[in-house]
Amino acid sequence: MTTRLPKLVAFDLDYTLWDLWIDTHVTGPLHRDKNAINEVLDKHNTPISFYKHVPQILHRLRTAEVTIAAASRTSAPTKARSALTLLLVPPMEGSKEGAVKAIDFFNQLEIYPGSKLTHFKKLHQKTEIPYSEMLFFDDEHRNKEVEQLGVTFCLVRNGLDDRTFEQGLAEWRKRHPVEIIEDAAGSTS
């Protein structure tokens, strides 16, 4: 069963979903040129876009009813939220629907400085999803500390892409194999 997914998938923002530090590389206010897809501009017209594979990954998770979370320790939470609100995600491949606001994909947003242990404790409190059902993608090795809680951590190099996403899923599946139910006679089914 290779399609098994965790109940919650969380993403860091900077250098995981987009290729900049929202606190230092862009200056507010942010804006969008008409209905430009996957591009928000800052005061100096520096573009903010999701990495190429991110939109379809978000669609896939949403279609599968996986809870999607953002877990960022940026010191500019307002700008990060603003970027997510303005950014338009292209429709699912093959779909005739229009673009969707990026922020509408996220069921939970934990965006504030500090250890990501706090971010995940909050996610657990709010969703009641066990840590064993959480998979986290982040480009900074220090944030692997969330594994203390039981979260599966996947390090992202050069931005989130399909390959990294599949690696994260494979690691989560390996750590949490399907439970084998034994019937009354003791044989496995």
Nearest residue to Mg ion by CB is 14
| Residues between 31 and 90 that touch Mg ion (CB under 5 A) | none
Q: Which is nearer to Mg ion, 16 or 67 (CB)?
A: 16
The three-state secondary structure class of 145 is helix
> How far, in Å, CA of 27 to CA of 41, rounded?
9
**Per CB under 5 A, which region of 32-40, 93-101, 112-120, 134-142 contacts Mg ion?**
134-142
The answer to whether 139 contacts Mg ion (rule: CB under 5 A) is: yes
Q: What share of the chain is helix, strand, coil (3-state, %, to 5)?
A: 35, 20, 50
| 14 touches Mg ion (CB under 5 A) | yes
- Degrees to nearest 5, angle at CA 115 with 111 and 116: 60
Which residue of 8, 10, 11, 12 would you call a contact of Mg ion, by CB under 5 A?
12
Our finding on whether 110 is near Mg ion (CB under 5 A) is no
Q: How far is the CB of 95 from Mg ion (least distance, A)?
A: 30
Number of residues that bind Mg ion (CB under 5 A): 4
In the residue annotation, 104 being an active-site residue is answered as no
Identify which of residues 98 and 114 has a Cβ nearer to Mg ion in the complex. 114
The reply to whether 19 belongs to the active site is no
Q: Where does this chain touch Mg ion (CB under 5 A) — which range of 6-14, 26-34, 76-84, 176-184?
A: 6-14
Q: How far apart are CA 185 and CA 151, in angstroms?
A: 35
Q: Smallest gap, in angstroms, from Cβ of residue 139 to Mg ion? A: 4
Is 159 within 8 Å of 15 (Cβ atoms)?
yes
Q: At what angle do helices 54-63 and 162-175 cross, to 10 degrees?
A: 40
DSSP secondary structure, 57-110, as one string: HHHHHHHTT-EEEEEE--S-HHHHHHHHHHPEEPPPTT-----EEGGGG-SEEE
Q: How far is the CB of 70 from Mg ion (least distance, A)?
A: 11
Closest contact distance (angstroms) between CB of 26 and Mg ion is 14
Contacting positions for Mg ion (CB under 5 A): 12, 14-15, 139
State the catalytic residues: 12, 14
